Amino acid sequence: MARACAAARRAFDDGRWSRLAPAGRKKVLHRIADRLEAEALELAVLGVRDNGTELNMALKAEPGSAAGTFRYYAEALDKVYGEIAPTAPDVLGLVHREPVGVVGAIVPWNFPLMIGAWKLAPALAAGNSVVLKPAETASLSLLRLAEICMECGLPDGVLNVVTGQGAIAGEALALSHDVDVLVFTGSGATGRRLLEYSARSNLKRVYLELGGKSPNVVFADAPDLAIAARVSAMGIFRNSGQVCVAGSRLLVERSIHDDFVALLADEAKKLRVGDPLDLSSQIGAINSETQLLGNLGFVADARKQGNTIALGGSRILESTGGYYMEPTIITDVAPDHRIAQEEVFGPVLAVTAFDSDKDALRIANSTDYGLAAGVWTANLSRAHAMVRGIRAGVVHVNTYGGADNTVPLGGVGQSGNGHDKSLHAFDKYFNLKTAWMQL
């Protein structure tokens, strides 16, 4: 790791990329996007073998999304300007945007290529060098991405990918004095350690996306309850629930609670769980045995707290040797129950009834997280009030998921700070420098 950080520092300081004209950086990033699209199937299969995501989803969410992200920032990089301050006639005030230097990036196992691109593309577009550490269990697609970047003309040393355990390689990256900014997606416990490592080293800026316990709020006046149930099912069960923005808490107006849960259960029963490389599988595997056992532990605790396992709750397909879990719906959940407070990161949905708009808002904001949310209602005023009232970085209305690169993704509270995606992602990767000139 020390050699990788030093190589990134040398590459940045000598200007082989940081001082390359924007048009030159743009060409390289577009070539990377082209290669990601050309190798989409191979890259998706690499990722599926690592993390168990169903192939149909992986094709879109991994190489497809990553290619779009590189192309977005390739086009954006020469459209970000400095500023001229309003001053007296005998003074010129300029605000320059300069690359921060060396960016350390640590990404998780659930969507390594997509989330890796969210970090890499804007950091590289801004002229920085990057040291990337993938998750221990999902590094294959990112190692291939590094090869693609080199083959597409990214200069040596500008991108360095180092695999290894978080407690060793991740700690070394976070403690490095060669790293100016650290970006991370993962658990809150690891995020806290990264902040400590920053304080123990060079006070590098640290940006964290730490997951969530996102509420999906369904009112009785939702435009189409059948559609709401179908979309909500995929909002929690796709990729076996291993999605940071997953709608893992379902809040349902009491008057439609039983009917909506029945609709949702019917949708969940239709989903085919199986081999993620089988194109007929709609839901793939759990990432690891440790993750599966953790999911099952949450279900066991829910039973002890008096919650009702309305659907699922068990491991399936054990004879295959894989780690699979059936879609699980848990009802009679109070807002303070463990299953409503802690992130499971599995195909487990906690359902809570509410009686009024005020009640829904109180329950939606009853966790320490604030990453994403959903609201289903035909009442425009109610929708606006919920968007304003729910503490979350992203609020979906009459849908769940699907936001593209034109809008930011970031959280509040213990879901982290800073933003991926959109032009706002550049904020992490530029320094502002003022020039104040007496004329």
Residues designated catalytic = 209
Nearest in space to 247 (alpha carbons), one of 123, 125, 354, 396: 396
Cβ atoms 155, 146 nearer than 8 A = no
Number of residues written out for the chain? 439
Distance CA 250, CA 322 (A): 28
Contacts of 250 (CB under 8 A, 6+ apart): 215, 216, 218, 232, 236, 264, 349, 350, 351, 352
Distance, CA of 180 to CA of 178 (rounded, Å)? 6
Which residue shows structure tokens 């779009």?
A: 68
Determine the 3-state secondary structure of 7 from DSSP.
Answer: helix
99-115 b/e with 16+ CB inside 10 Å = b?
bbbbbbbbbbbbbbbbb
Nearest alpha carbon to residue 100 among 434, 421, 432, 419:
432
Q: Which residues lie below 8 Å from residue 242, measured CB to CB, with a gap of 6+?
A: 51, 53, 110, 286, 287, 291, 345, 346
What is the rounded CA–CA span in Å between residue 284 and residue 281? 7
DSSP 8-state secondary structure symbol assigned to residue 416? B
Q: What are the distances in angstroms from CA 263 to CA 201, 234, 257? A: 53, 13, 10
Distances (CA, A) of 147 to 1, 23, 41, 160, 241: 18, 22, 16, 10, 30
Query: Contact, 182 vs 204, CB < 8 A?
Result: yes
Cβ atoms of residues 116 and 124 within 8 Å: no
* DSSP-derived 3-state class of residue 410: coil
Q: How far apart are CA 46 and CA 147, in angstroms?
A: 14
Dihedral angle of Cα 262, 394, 403, 101, to the nearest 10 degrees: -140
Transcribe 65-111 into DSSP letters: HHHHHHHHHHHHGGG---EE----TTEEEEEEEEE-SEEEEE--SSS
